A = this chain, B = another copy of it.
Amino acid sequence: MTDRSPLLHFDDLAVGDRHRSASVTISHDQITAFAAEFDPQPFHLDDDAARATLFGGLAASGWHTAALTMKLIVTSGMPFAGGYIGAGVQLDWPRPVRPGDTLHVESEVIELIPSKSKPDRGIVVVRNETKNERDEVVQVQTAKLVVPRRVAPG
C-alpha cells in the first residue's frame, strides 16, 4: 500500500474534483505478452499481421489498457478510503495504444450519489481519461465506485 493521505471519504468529494496520475510506458513485448495470455488476436500479437487490419499496426488490447489504467489509478490516483471497488464501468477506446506509448490518467468526479439503503457509503461516479504522451485520449472509463462516508448521516 502507499502512504498517500489523507484518504478521501464520500463527504470529502465535490463534483468537478480533478486528479492526474503518474505515468507508465508500455513496451512492444508487454503488448504481445498480455495479448498471448488474454486477447490472442493478430492485431495485438504480430506487427506484420497487424498492418493488414483496421488498426494498421500493432496495438495493445483494450483490456491491457484497462488493466494499466487500473494500476495507475490504484497506485497514484485519487486515494479513496476503502480502495477502488467498482459497481459498474463504461469503457471506450477512441484511439489505439502503440508500443512505446507513455500513458497517464486524468480523473474527474462527475456525480455523487448517497446510498439510500446503506447510510455508511455512497456512489462516486468518476470519469477517467487515459491519455498518451501527445495528450490524445486512448481510453475513457466511467466508473461507479463504492466509497465510505466519514460519518453516517442522521
Which A residues contact B (CB, under 8 angstroms)? 1, 34, 37-43, 53-54, 61-63, 66-68, 70-71, 74-75, 82-93, 146
Contacts and interface: CB of A to CB of B under 8 A. Distances in A.
Contact of A71 (B37, B68, B82, B146): B37
Contacts of A89: 62, 90-92
26 contacts: A1-B40, A34-B67, A37-B67, A38-B67, A38-B70, A38-B71, A39-B70, A39-B71, A39-B74, A39-B84, A41-B83, A41-B84, A42-B83, A43-B83, A53-B82, A54-B82, A54-B85, A54-B146, A61-B70, A63-B66, A63-B67, A63-B70, A88-B92, A89-B90, A89-B91, A89-B92
A2 to B, nearest CB: 9
A141 to B, nearest CB: 9
